Amino acid sequence: MKRLILASSSKYRKELLDKLGIEYDAISPNIDEDFYKKTIHDPKELSTILAKQKAKAIFKQYPTATIIGSDQVCHFNGKILSKTKSVKKSIEVLKGLSGNTHELITSFCLIQGDKEILHTNITQLKMKVLTQSQIEKYVKEDNPIDCAGSYKLEQRGICLFDSIECCDHTAIIGLPIIALSKDLSQLGFDLFQSL
């Protein structure tokens, strides 16, 4: 059986990959994301480059394994919204997104030997008009300080939205499983083995 490695320490990506029922290891790629965020201002380019760099960092250590690198960028009004790491900043971000549409750009890079597969999913999200009180209650409930855009759609964050346009809802959480499962099958992984 081929070894599969998820180049990530994200619990959200692990939970998504677990849905496929295949064995894998998760290893943090430890790349300097801030370096790329300071130099690349196009959100799609940033998402794809970070996904690729994460995969390459682990592939250097494990060249016989198949590596999945993934990244997600939240984009609004020409700005890239990073994880806030604070309640106060999350409230500010949600106030800005309230009543507006923004994009979540999620990319993954698969590397196996000399093969490299890159996929990007773009989701349009229209947030409801929210009051200060609603925003504060939500942030207290979900504590989304570790999420781009300051919300968790897999939890109470779904209540914040009027509409979400995407072809794969798992991309919103951090890893487009529909496309990934197709590409893993093409690389020789049997996704039905555990069924």
To 10 degrees, the CA torsion angle through 73, 78, 79, 81?
-40
Catalytic residue among 18, 32, 71, 142: 71
Which among 121, 110, 136 has a CA at the least distance from the CA of 189? Answer: 110
Other C-beta atoms lying within 10 Å of the C-beta of residue 171: 27
Helix locations, 41-191, DSSP H:
43-61, 87-97, 132-142, 170-173, 177-186
Beta strand 101-112 with 25-26 is: unpaired
Burial of 39 (0-12, 13-18, 19+ CB in 10 A): exposed
**Is there a catalytic annotation at residue 32?**
no
97 Cβ neighbours under 8 A, 6+ residues apart: 76, 127, 149, 150
CA 53 to the chain's CA centroid:
14
Catalytic residue set:
71
